[in-house]
Chains A and B, each alone.
Chain A
Amino acid sequence: MNIFRLAGDMTHLASVLVLLLKIHTIKSCAGISLKTQELYALVFATRYLDLFTDYISLYNTLMKLIFLVSSFSIVWYIRHHKIVRRSYDKDQDTFRHYFLVLPCFLLALVINEKFTVKEIMWTFSLYLEAVAILPQLVLLQRTRNIDNLTGQYVFLLGAYRSLYILNWIYRYFTEPHYVHWITWISGLVQTLLYADFFYYYFQSWKNNVKLELPA
């Protein structure tokens, strides 16, 4: 475990907590894409299959549980909570996210490190996570005024993977034979998808104006 990875995990945890805070305290999911949340729940469900079979560390197990429970409870909140669901704008959240699932699965069947069920599911979760933010980014472009918590949520979600990239660079130089092209490339693609969001987020922060993405 290095500082970049710890910072990445903490940033990821912070993004989840910001989202839960928003939904649980102000009972609103305005501007949040249910589809991205569903994709993330699927990402964690397919990536943490080894939760009960392989024990790496208490930290690892604890964080996996937190991400699993939080992602599924966020989906539940937006879908079933009597107050929160009213603030979900399904007419705007129209990205056909099922079209992302199949290509990622097929790609995982073709490009993976080992042709086993666990490995293919893990690789699928990696590809899916790379594109899971797309429905949310599309929704942000449609939502005129993005509230602060939503902006912070997306920023932290993008930042965590950038920190993971630093972690991979660090591990590449410190651990012999540490080479994981699949992880590195999908992590890079994922981070690049946030590039324009980061730009506008930084501009809004620098000029102290409301965050707005061009349509």
Chain B
Amino acid sequence: SGYVSRHDEL
């Protein structure tokens, strides 16, 4: 899964 979906938190 892409970077964005894995890092959707702050």
A residues near B, CB below 8 A?
A: 5, 9, 12, 50, 54, 56, 60, 63-64, 67, 113-114, 116, 118-119, 122, 164, 167, 180
Contact = CB atoms under 8 A, between A and B. Distances in A.
A113 B2 CA distance: 11
6 contacts: A54-B3, A56-B4, A56-B8, A118-B3, A167-B9, A180-B6
Interface residues of B, number: 7
B4 A9 contact: no
Main secondary structure of the interface of A (DSSP, over half): helix
Interface of B: 3-4, 6-10
Given A50-B4, A64-B10, 6 more contacts: A50-B3, A116-B3, A119-B3, A164-B9, A167-B9, A180-B6
B10 A122 contact: no
Nearest to A59: B10
A113 B5 CA distance: 13
Contacts of B9: 5, 164, 167
